Structure 1
Amino acid sequence: MDNQLMPREQLGICAEGNLHSIYLMLNAKEGAEPALKASLATVAQHLFESSDTHSDCAFNGFVAIGANYWDSLYPLARPAQLAPFPAMSATHIEAPAVEYDLFVHLRCDRYDVLHQIANECCQMLDGLVDISDEERGFRYQDSRDLTGFVDGTENPKGQHRQQVALVGAADSEFKGGSYIHVQKYAHMLPKWQRLAIKKQEDIIGRTKQDNIEYASADKPLTSHIKRVNLKDADGNSLEILRQSMPYGSMTNQGLMFISVCCNPSHFELMLRSMIHGDGHGHHDHLLHFTRAVTGSAFFAPSLDFMLRDLD
């Protein structure tokens, strides 16, 4: 099949889950763009090749460019729906915007290989960027959040992951790319653990031990699942692919929430439903026990887009 019609996606976008992750939020040094564009393409190619070299430990990764920085790096073409992070706030609840120029997302089932490749990426970008934030994630038990509930149960499966996550022919120049939204959530675990298990389950909308979703009629309107499982006017699910993982230490821990999608509107509608609810005061009560401390919007173009037009 003609590769021009099927650009190569960055393999970390739709990858299955891993044991470990590294998240690098980078800001470009002033005047770095001419060299940075080529170096980023080198990093993306390295990640693509490393997925094969280290297939035994399921390494994968991707590079994404911030919504506010995109035009500095690629002034001649812009993804049709790329926009800054949709910051929102309501009484005692906030989803702030903290934008970065670049996001490097790395995952692997071997921590040493993950650390090695992260070092190699940073060396390729040395002198061009500053590391503004770094977090290391990990699989917790059987893919649970630190709240104790299974995370990502609603994720699309198989080839449907690509359909949900990757831009299609409607924006042909950016086919194979993905809109990325990242929020670092800091959990209030002592407050959460003081709740009775049934109260926790009502807040999530699932049972804790067996991960059984409540019947629709039994889900509180303030439950997390009720607020994020949305449908359009025709009854179609507004899906995203979640690539989230727990992160942190004993003093600062929570969830790195990562949404990858073929459009940014699904994430924005979910966030609005969580923060502002249904217009009748039914917002997501999980937000009483976790706090978003960042919110960033990126676009991860196809590997072929990043490699084109390089000298």
Structure 2
Amino acid sequence: MLDVIVKVSSFVLIILIGIAAARSGKFGEGASLLISRIVFNLTLPCAIVRAFESAELTPALLGLIPLGFVMNIVPFLASYLVYRRRPREELVFQQANVCGLNIGCFALSFVQAFFPATGVVATCLFDAGNSLMGTGGTWALIRSLVLGTDHDLLRDRLKVFARTLFSSVPFDCYVVLIAMGLAGAHLPEPVITLISPLADANAFLSMFMIGLMIRFTVDAQRAHELARVLAWRLACSAALTLAALFVLPFDGVARQALIVLAWAPAASTGPLYTLWAGGDDGLAGMANALTVLLGVIIMTTLVIVMGVQVM
């Protein structure tokens, strides 16, 4: 248990350093944007490549891809049906933040610290489905269902969606590596050795970036909206946990990793989509920060309860 607490404490420490750095102003206004580009386009892809090369891709695990997508689309559509008659700004906040998990920049680093390669590959496959919404699908649905714009430009919007999706380096890595894994192909070992320092840097940069992006600003009058979206997310996390325990046909390591992933923080794109749609991005930033706090506590507790060993 002590090893787990120390490892998680190192993650929390990096996040706190990021928060302090943001408040100090010494890194400038564009630090989080610069680091996010480094993470998404360099260190995260390298971490994904190394994870896939260190474990066998089995057909049974491929079901995690559609599962990752379902865990995004179901809460989005269910929430929209319940709240579609709410004021637009309130609906924007709800729909932009009700779904999406921060796998690549948070949960992947967490899983890499505690699980063997099979658990890391399971995480990447789940994130491949999760990314279908996180890298553009959620925004496309907000534009069409919530904002109600460009109804006569469906083909153009589909082109923008596809271009956005496939311009995501992590998603492209998932596609290529899954195809290679199914074909039994592997990258040469020197390539993995070459990118390992970049892969090792992903955990630090990802946690530091989260710290830089956290904002604790919220109007007390909007507290009920904040509580509502958090309740939706917690309910969905609980449902996935129960499904992993009693329904889904995955082995021990993949099941444990999935249970941990269910409680990952909200995707960092939520505040961004809220801003783009003219919603309360300050409230969205607060919601994101709270999911990080809850994620650290619940994911750590689950690792301890399940007896996962520090890798």
TM-score range, shorter chain: under 0.3
With normalisation by structure 1, the TM-score equals: 0.28
With normalisation by structure 2, the TM-score equals: 0.28
Determine which structure has greater relative contact order: mean sequence separation of CA pairs < 8 Å that are 6+ residues apart, divided by chain length. Answer: 2
Hey, which of these two has a bigger chunk of strand by percent? Answer: 1
